[in-house]
């Protein structure tokens, strides 16, 4: 198996691990803390996590060529951390399965992505996955920073790759 495929499979697992750690912390928040207005790209932890879940659904739909496109954004936002955790966990499993089923030739295959006013754009599966992982890291970091202003200590999210420092939760994804 190529290093590119292994890298993407590991990134999918790292994504699931980091989400699990973040949601474990967020589920300890009161609903008021979860909903509270905070500084960030989105106005609350709830809205930030809903955005990540939406974008995961959008890109996985494009990657699997299911054709829902922008309609995934019509799904109502989930109101609680527990509901979001369940939905995100399912999405993370689907992303791992998708990455595990990839072949080397799939990475350069173009897929359609509905970009609204810009039209339908073509992008490779490899570039789409890299973008998706970067997007998730970016907004998870914002939610992580928002947690610093709550009663819950933000979790360590980067103890996945190094064997000597790997978090016990990360081991279940290896």
Dump pLDDT digits (tens) for 18-63: 999 999 999 999 999 999 999 989 999 999 999 999 999 999 999 9
- The per-residue pLDDT for range 5-17, each reduced to its tens digit, is 999 999 999 999 9
Cα–Cα distances in angstroms (integers) from residue 27 to residues 19, 69, 82, 96, 148, in the given order: 12, 30, 6, 23, 15
Rounded CA separation 50/78 (Å): 7
CATH of 3-171, one of 2.70.170.10, 1.10.3720.10, 1.20.120.450, 2.30.30.90: 1.20.120.450
Rounded CA separation 38/45 (Å): 8
The number of beta carbons lying within 10 Å of the beta carbon of residue 63 is 20
Indicate the pTM of the whole model.
Answer: 0.95
Domain positions in the chain: 3-171
């Amino acid at each position: 198996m190529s290093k590119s495929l292994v890298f993407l499979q590991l990134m999918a697992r790292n994504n699931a691990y980091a989400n699990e750690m973040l949601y474990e912390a967020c589920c300890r928040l009161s609903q008021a803390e979860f909903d509270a207005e905070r500084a960030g790209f989105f106005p609350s932890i709830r809205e930030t996590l809903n955005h990540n879940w939406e974008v995961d659904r959008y890109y996985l739909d494009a990657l699997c060529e299911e054709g829902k496109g922008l309609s995934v954004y019509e799904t109502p936002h989930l109101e609680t951390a527990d509901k979001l955790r369940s939905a995100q966990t399912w999405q993370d499993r689907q992303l791992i399965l998708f990455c595990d089923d990839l072949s080397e030739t799939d990475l350069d295959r173009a897929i359609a992505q509905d970009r609204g006013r810009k039209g339908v754009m073509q992008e490779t599966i490899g570039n789409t996955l890299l973008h998706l992982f970067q997007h998730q890291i970016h907004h998870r970091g914002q939610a992580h920073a928002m947690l610093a202003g709550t009663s819950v200590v933000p979790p360590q999210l980067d103890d996945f790759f190094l064997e000597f420092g790997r978090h016990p939760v990360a081991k279940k994804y290896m």
